[in-house]
Amino acid sequence: MSFTEPNMLLSTTKKLLSLMILLVGLTALASGCATAGAESQPQALGANAQQAEQPHKAAIGVRTERHLQVGLLTARQMFQGVGGYQADQVTIVVCGPAVEFLLADTDIQAEIERTEKEGDVRVVACGITLEAMNIDPAALAPSVEVVPNGFIELARLQAAGYEAVVL
């Protein structure tokens, strides 16, 4: 059969019309549910506003020198509440080539100290990376902590409620 036959065309048109009516009905039902839910919306919005005011804990994973610099800048901005996001603690987890910039004699130490003055920041180095790159943990800047595995540290922080971003 082809669509040119009158009965088939009429049947197809009826099916499409029925489908459209069904979709309009479902849309109306859905918007009715949304309207009913909107009555409790002010309370929910108030709860969200309270959550937005509460400080957060954040973890930033970095692997390059540039990302380390951006991570420290981002931590300072989080402490200042830039963009409406206020953090009370930020952990920067450093893996890969960026660990070389955590040595005590690098320029990044001044940025770490500047960030520490603005809030509770932890800078941690990945022990696996240190071992792979033959870097003695004692050669790191004094404020840098060492964790056995940077990726596990990020996972642990997420499980503890930290919001994590990996650059």
- Spatial separation of the C-alpha atoms in residues 95 and 98, rounded to whole Å: 6
Provide the residue ranges of all domains of the chain, joining segments of one domain with +: 6-47, 55-166
| Predicted pLDDT of residue 80 | 96
| Predicted pLDDT of residue 64 | 97
Full-model pTM? 0.68
Residue from 160, 140, 139 nearest 94 by CA: 140
Over the chain (167 residues), the average pLDDT of each successive run of 10 is 48 44 39 42 42 78 97 97 94 98 90 95 98 97 96 97 95
| Predicted pLDDT of residue 53 | 62
- Spatial separation of the C-alpha atoms in residues 164 and 47, rounded to whole Å: 23
How many angstroms separate the Cα of 152 from the Cα of each of 28, 58, 95, 96, 100?
48, 15, 11, 14, 20
User: What type of residue is 129?
Assistant: T
- Spatial separation of the C-alpha atoms in residues 126 and 12, rounded to whole Å: 65
User: What type of residue is 101?
Assistant: F
| Predicted pLDDT of residue 107 | 86
| Predicted pLDDT of residue 111 | 92
Superfamily assignment of 55-166 in CATH? DsrEFH-like (3.40.1260.10)
| Predicted pLDDT of residue 151 | 97
β-strand partners of 89: 57, 120
| Predicted pLDDT of residue 105 | 85
Tell me 143's DSSP state. Answer: T
User: Which token pair is 97?
Assistant: 């080539």
Q: Where are the alpha helices (DSSP H) in 39-135?
A: 41-53, 65-80, 108-118, 127-132
